[in-house]
Amino acid sequence: MLKVKNYIHELETVSKKSFNNDEKMLLEKAIKMAEYAHEGFYRKSGEPFVNHPLEVSKILASLKLDITTLISGILHDSVEDSDGKVTLQDIEKEFGKNVALIVDGVTKVSKINAPVGNIDQKKKSETIQKMLFAMAEDVRVIFVKLADRLHNMRTIDYVDNKEKKRYKALETLEVYAPIAHKLGIHVIKWELEDLSFKVLYPEEYYKIKELVAQKKKEREERTNEYVNQLKLALKEHNINALIEGRYKHYYSIWKKMKEKNKNFDEIYDLIGIRAIVDDIKTCYTTVGVVHQIWVPLPGRFKDYIAAPKSNGYKSIHTTVITQYGEPLEIQIRDHQMHNEAEYGLIAHWIYKEKTVNLKQKWLLQLLDWRKELLKGSTNLSELKNELQLEEVFVLTPKGEIIHMPRGSTVIDFAYAIHTEIGHHFSGAKVNGKIVPISYKLKNGDVVEILVNKSSKGPSLDWLKYAKSPRTKAKIRRFFREQEKERLIDSGKDVIRKLAKRLNISIENLLENERLKTFMKNHSLSSEELFIRIGEGSITFNDLLSLIEKQEEQKKIKIKQKKNYKNLISIDGISTIDVHIAKCCMPVPGDEIIGISSRRGITIHRVGCKNIKNIEEERKFSANWISENSSGFNAAIEIELDKNERLPEIMNIFVSKKINISSLKVSESESWKTIFAQFTIVVKSLSELNELINDIEKKAGVIRVRRK
């Protein structure tokens, strides 16, 4: 008991604040739960396991994170390392949804082993992505995970297994330190880097540490002199400032030596100090004071306050030459800038932007990093989608990642995996629980689709729950295919009857020369012939006269005779099973839409007023595949000042070889003008527009309107 109270007091000390009674009670409950969960578990160092999560929450407290984060830190291993004594449900019941969500996120991230070393960048980026979306629900998942890793790295010396040690260090260096860096959490990044550096390159680490210690001793006196000099000068100007020496971290020194191929002295020689003042205005006053004491080095003044770095970094940098003739680097910033420079996202999260905006921002930063990793190996549109955050990432039970558009439901997921799985969908489990078909996927959901192999196929109802156009298209295609099968079957019935009537076999009938020529002339495959017959465009009698009255060479008119093959696509699939609406008479080039009816699909112009109130489920996206048609009906109305003008208009049609299928003339109510309504046959919208243009130019034409 005493131990728990002591521990809460320690948390208060590191976070430099005191908790209220409710918070203390929660913390106490969490500590007890963790103790219970980890009872009998020990760390490699021999101490009770529970010390680890408690230390993690202490790190979180030192970052001044909120009570929810501290509790999540205390409980972060309780579900995984407790032999099932504590479940996520227990945590949710006792501490609420947020804590459960964070613990769950941390557990998921911990299960992912990032590929490290010289491996395929694509693979690496995929794993990192996996981690990112495990963290995507709540930014505090990252904070806890980073604190967890930091404590594990601080105690890594207890791990005996060399391989494991190396792997953890590499993973820290290649994955966790960069995450901290990208999120601007530099205090953690530096420590993680130095701890990994020590494991991976112990010789170099100790050498640099030694050199730094020597130099520091050498330099300390002079650094102190500069600090005091500046302090004094600022005091004279009544400027409150915190001034400190700056020391580089071991790993960054080593990295610079390697990258720039320089020796230690060249990298480390420069003395750096930092002045932290109260506000932006004072930053600039301070620069002035600095430049009064020492001579600024030309070209070295950088104002990142006026123009922050792309990661949001703000500060003023200047380099001066001191009285000893050596360069001195000075950074000037206010407290908030300093906080942000050291704590990055954590500072933002605590101080100002606990909003959705913030979430997008950090996700963007991380995705940006993934982009760097992927350089060249991904296509732009994929990235664009991600950057708009229009996607959620979910997992199959095997751990594969599936991206889905935001708002996608389990039925979308089923079809995304495989069309057949979609068609035989019978239910879904998300994170182990059965969910309704309308369930909207969330980041990190593990989705399992239940399949009924004997089901006959999808239900039209599903269109209501499908979010993705691709899912809808697949469901509709299924029904269209089914309709097609039905038409083919009834077409075959007619052929069967015909063969019986002619007293020949079906095979012989299909080999009939007349029939074959007819099919060729109308470019019909046998399947399409059956469909035409099945839908009644070609009748029993048509076929009978075609085959019997050979001498007459009578041409059969196929009702709805247009062959739309390769002309119109529905949901992206080329089709012939369409009719052209008579109300709006679309022509190739018009924006069109398909409307399903008992007859099949009818193509309307998008603006057609007859389809205004049609329910969404009946609408299909339709497109012209080609504008090369043999001709489509179009109706235009021409208003003329008098009747005599009409022949001239007709001449335009003749000269353009445009057929007129009907003409109706009426007089306006005022009797002053006449209306001529033409139905004409055109090949495309451009032909029609050209024609309308030409007519409009004619004398006496008041206006031309497409009906």
Dist. CA 382–CA 376, nearest whole Å: 12
Contact (Cβ atoms closer than 8 angstroms) between residue 437 and residue 493: no
- Burial label for 380, CB within 10 Å (0-12, 13-18, 19+), is exposed
Shortest distance, position 59 Cβ to Mn ion, whole Å: 11
Nearer Cβ to Mn ion (15/78):
78
Q: Which CB, 149 or 314, lies closer to Mn ion?
A: 149
Say how far apart CA 523 and CA 238 lie, in whole Å.
94
Q: In this structure, which amino acid lies at residue 356? A: V
Shortest Cβ 353–Mn ion spacing (Å): 28
CB of 43 to Mn ion, least distance (A): 10
CA quadruple 73, 144, 346, 158: dihedral sign:
positive
CA 190 distance to own-chain centroid: 31
Q: Judge whether 43 and 158 are in contact, CB under 8 Å.
A: yes
Rounded to whole angstroms, the maximal C-alpha distance in the chain is: 119
Catalytic site residue from 10, 66, 80, 483? 80
Number of continuous H segments (helices) and E segments (strands) in the chain: 29, 21
How many CA atoms lie within 13 Å of 359's alpha carbon, on the beta-carbon side? 13
- In angstroms, give the least distance from the CB of 132 to Mn ion: 19
Nearer of residues 138 and 148 to Mn ion, judged by Cβ: 148
Q: How many CA atoms lie within 13 A of 664 on its CB side?
A: 7
Q: How many CA atoms lie within 13 A of 462 on its CB side?
A: 29
Phi and psi, residue 30, nearest 5°: -65, -45
**Nearest Cα to Cα of residue 641 among 660, 664, 668, 679:** 668
Question: Is the separation of the CB atoms in 386 and 379 below 8 Å?
Answer: no
Residues lying near Mn ion in the complex (CB under 5 A) are found at 77, 148
Q: Tokens 């963790």 correspond to what residue?
A: 34
Residue 277 parent element (H or E): strand 271-277
Measured from each CB, the residue nearest to Mn ion is 148
Taking the least distance from each CB to Mn ion, the nearer of 78 and 443 is 78
CB 188 within 8 Å of CB 245: no
Close Cβ partners of 624 (under 8 Å, ≥ 6 residues apart): 567, 568, 569, 588, 589, 590, 592
Task: Please report how close the Cβ of residue 77 comes to Mn ion at its closest, in angstroms.
Answer: 4
Nearer Cβ to Mn ion (135/533): 135
Q: What is the DSSP string of 199-263?
A: HH-HHHHHHHHHHHHHHHHHHHHHHHHHHHHHHHHHHHTT--EEEEEE---HHHHHHHHHHHT--
Identified catalytic residue from 55, 77, 81, 577? 81
Shortest Å, Cβ 104 to Mn ion: 14
The candidate with the shortest Cα–Cα distance to 402, out of 467, 446, 359, is 446
Establish whether 220 is a catalytic residue: no
81 catalytic, yes or no? yes
CB 317, min distance to Mn ion, A = 38
Of 146 and 601, which CB lies nearer to Mn ion in the complex structure? 146
The residue (of 68 and 285) whose beta carbon lies closer to Mn ion is: 68
The residue (of 148 and 687) whose beta carbon lies closer to Mn ion is: 148
The least distance separating Mn ion from the CB of residue 76, rounded to whole angstroms, comes to 6
Active site amino acids: 80-81
